[in-house]
Each structure stands twice: as structure tokens, then as C-alpha cells.
Amino acid sequence: MAFDYHRLMHWHFPDVRHTYTEKDTMLYALSLGYCSDPLDTAELQFVYEKDLQAVPSMAVILGSPGAWMQHPDTGLDWLQVLHGEQYLTLHQPLPAAAAIIGRTRVTGITDKGAGKGALLACETRVSEQASGKLLATVEQVYFCRGHGGYSARGQPSDESVSKLPVMPSAPADIVCDLPTRLDMALLYRLSGDLNPLHAEPQLARSAGFPRPILHGLATFGVIGHALLKTCCHHEAARLQVLNARFSAPVFPGETIRTEIWRRGMHVFFRAHVVERNALVIDKGYALITP
């Protein structure tokens, strides 16, 4: 089926009801390396039921519509779709356990031109089921290879759906190195993303990787960890916005180095893998309250 702008913009997403427990909250934090030092009492609050707090980046896995792009009626070649950018706005701190509803919609599609692909943006609003209180707005921008030039056939193309900042040119104010575990992808997938690309060596090789790669949203979570550690004094409620562009995959076991620029409440960042000097996150932006 051909790519159709109007079909995608009006794609029907059923409400996703998702109940998570304190155990789920602790597993998510552990899978990202929180409290890897068991004597680090500042991070114990994210992995221990006493005074448990949810890690802010956990919002990106709540109420997700799943692999909807694989439906044949989308007209998308899902094997050619890459997760390009991730945006997260926290309207209030996530409860340590809750029943939530995720409501998703497509918000824009941009034609980059023939041979250059198209960008597709989605938004999920995560609300507490009982009260209807909005907890978080989660947005993704996908790079759809092979669909560039679709507007030449008379279909609309929206203005750029990307909204990432220009990075500072000065040296970083803070540098934070966080190691990833060799089994991080296997742990992280237990939070919901069971894509076998992150588990099966043979499948990873068939996709062009020497071994299974880390989930992009796990890398995003590690960056959130770095910001909580260096800019928030581990106070989860202070991290209100976290946005970034994915540049390259991380392999479990590598060290993620986050370079951070502070401009009052506005924080800019990017991240490299130390062992390969590979840029994995670019044009990052966070809003952190005093």
C-alpha cells in the first residue's frame, strides 16, 4: 500500500491502559544502572521501596501504542523506519505506581525530498486513569527512509517537525561518564520493548551490527540519569523537559560520556561512547527547575 499523508495523520490509536507497580519502577531504574554502587544512598530512592521515587524518563515507556507502524495499512516500510528524536515533558512527578492511560496521535509529517526520506512525528499524552491528571507528554520523531518525495504526488508536507536547539560552542561545563552493563539490553527489554534485535546475536548480525545493540530509549534513560546526578542532586521533580536526537547506537558494556552546558534552568547536552569516540546523542536539551 502506498504512503498516504492523510491516512497517517488520521490514524486511529486505541487508548492504551497500563498499570505499573513499584516493582516495575525499580526494575526500570536498575536496568539503567541506578544504584550500581549499593552504598550510594542518593540513588537508593529509585530502586528501593522505602520512599520510592520513579525515574522521570520512565514516562517514555508508559502507554505506548507499540509497533503500530507494522500494520500493512500504514503504507510504511517499517524496516526502513528509524527512531530519530525523542521529546519528554513532565507535567508533574510520576507516581511510584499507578494505572495510566496513553493517548497517541500523529502530529506532523515532513517530506525531506526524493532520496532523503520523510519525518513523522507522534505524541502520546500519559494521564493518571483515576483522576485524569496529565502526567507527561511524550513525542517521537521517526525518520522514514524510502518515503522521501511523496509530496511530489500532490500530498501535503508539514513544516519541520524537529525542534531541537543549536548547541553551545564553548567547552562543556560538566562531563559525566556512566558505564553500561553487558546485559543492559536484556534487562531493559523487561520494561516492555521486546524487540529481538536487542537480544539475539544472529538477528543483530543480519541487521548489520556485530552484536545486539542497546535500545535507543535506554540510551535516553542513561542521559536522564547523568542529568539527575549532575544537575538535579537526584531530585526527580526538578527534571521537567528532556529532548534529544539519536545519532548512533550504543553497544551494551560501553561507557556513555555526557557533555553538559548549563545556562540557568536551560541545559544543553550531547553524548559520546568513550570506547569508540562515537556521537550517540546530539542536540540535547533539558529544563531543570531550581
CA 4 to chain CA centroid, Å, is 26
Quick: pLDDT tens for 114-154: 888 999 999 999 999 999 999 999 999 999 988 888 898 88
pTM of this structure:
0.94
Q: What whole-number percentage of the chain has pLDDT above 70?
A: 100
Q: Please tell me the predicted confidence (pLDDT) of residue 152.
A: 87
The CATH homologous superfamily for domain 164-290 is Hotdog Thioesterase (3.10.129.10)
Over 9-22, what HEC string results?
Answer: HCCCCCCEEEEECH
What residues are paired with 255 via a beta bridge?
179
Name 38's Cβ contacts closer than 8 Å, sequence gap at least 6.
Answer: none
Cite the residue boundaries of each domain of the chain with CATH code 3.10.129.10.
Answer: 1-162, 164-290
Question: Which is it for strands 98-111 and 134-144: parallel, antiparallel or unpaired?
Answer: unpaired
Residues 255, 180: contact at Cβ < 8 Å?
Answer: yes
Q: What is the rounded CA–CA span in Å between residue 94 and residue 183?
A: 26
* pLDDT per residue as tens digits for the range 222-233: 999 999 999 999
Identify the CATH assignment for 1-162 out of 3.40.50.620, 3.40.50.300, 3.10.129.10, 3.40.50.150: 3.10.129.10
Q: pLDDT tens for residues 182-219?
A: 999 999 999 988 888 899 999 899 888 999 999 999 99
**Would you say the C-alpha torsion 193, 182, 248, 115 has a positive or negative sign?**
negative
Cα dihedral 53, 56, 61, 65 sign = positive
Would you say residue 85 has pLDDT above 80? yes
